[in-house]
């Protein structure tokens, strides 16, 4: 049995129009992408919807992919942008319906009286910090890959990861101390 083609070969085939090659790329990355989105968003159904939108967008725009970049950071970057777009759309819908939304983030803060676990502590982080932390620690991205995916400077990603880790340790330590 021969080994499956390497990712760059699959990307080249997908850019040439091979739906089969793109399907193999989806298979290679869907579990990690869905896990990242589920941790980021906290709602599995919404995360799966955004993952689906990400793969559809990636297929529709595969010809614009720069082969000099890594496919995984490009894909996760699409997912990050789709998440942000979704969140902004949701806030606009609430505002149009006349609901007061002073700070959408406070709606998702865990109850301070509850014992926090790692997922709840991560949910309290600012979105970009949480995304950088999840990519680097949860998805084993390098800082450079995370910077590429999030369209942030490398130093900013390193700061987000370091500060996010400090906040998690502080929150979890206070809860368990």
Per-residue pLDDT tens over the stretch 3-47: 456 999 999 999 999 999 999 999 999 999 999 999 988 889 899
pLDDT computed for residue 117 by the predictor: 58
Residue 63 pLDDT grade (very low, low, confident, very high; cuts 50, 70, 90): very high
Give 139's contacts (C-beta < 8 A, 6+ positions apart): 32, 35, 36, 76
Tell me the pTM. Answer: 0.64
CATH 1.10.260.40 for domain 1-108, yes or no, is no
d(CA 68, CA 24): 20
Residues of the chain with pLDDT > 90, as a percent, come to: 49
* Domain ranges within the chain, ordered by starting residue: 1-108, 110-177
pLDDT computed for residue 48 by the predictor: 93
pLDDT computed for residue 136 by the predictor: 87
How is domain 110-177 classified at the CATH fold level?
Arc Repressor Mutant, subunit A (1.10.10)
- In terms of Cα–Cα distance, which of 139, 133, 103 is closest to 118? 133
Long-range contacts of 22-30 (CB under 8 A, 24+ apart): 22/58, 22/59, 22/62, 25/71, 26/55, 29/71, 29/72, 29/75, 30/55
Mean of the per-residue pLDDT values of the chain = 80
pLDDT tens string 76-114: 999 999 998 876 665 554 444 444 333 434 444 443 343
H or E segment to which residue 164 belongs = helix 154-176
pLDDT computed for residue 89 by the predictor: 60
- In terms of Cα–Cα distance, which of 89, 57, 87 is closest to 75? 57
d(CA 175, CA 85): 33
Alpha-carbon separation of residue 1 from 4, 47, 113 (angstroms): 9, 35, 56
Give 137's contacts (C-beta < 8 A, 6+ positions apart): 161, 165
């Amino acid at each position: 049995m021969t080994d499956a083609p390497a990712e760059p070969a699959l990307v080249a085939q997908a850019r040439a129009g091979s739906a089969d090659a793109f399907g193999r790329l989806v298979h290679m990355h869907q579990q990690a992408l869905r896990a990242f989105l589920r941790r980021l968003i906290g709602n599995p159904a919404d995360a799966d919807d955004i993952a689906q939108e990400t793969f559809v967008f990636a297929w529709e725009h595969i010809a614009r992919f720069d082969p000099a970049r890594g496919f995984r950071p490009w894909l996760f970057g699409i997912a990050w942008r789709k998440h942000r777009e979704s969140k902004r759309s949701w806030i606009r819908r609430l505002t149009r319906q006349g609901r007061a939304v002073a700070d959408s983030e406070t709606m998702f803060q865990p109850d301070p009286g509850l014992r926090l676990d790692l997922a709840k502590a991560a949910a309290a982080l600012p979105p970009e910090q949480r995304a950088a932390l999840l990519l680097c620690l949860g998805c084993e991205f390098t800082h450079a890959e995370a910077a590429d995916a999030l369209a942030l400077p490398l130093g900013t990603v390193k700061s987000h990861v370091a500060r996010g880790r400090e906040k998690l340790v502080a929150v979890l330590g206070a809860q368990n101390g």
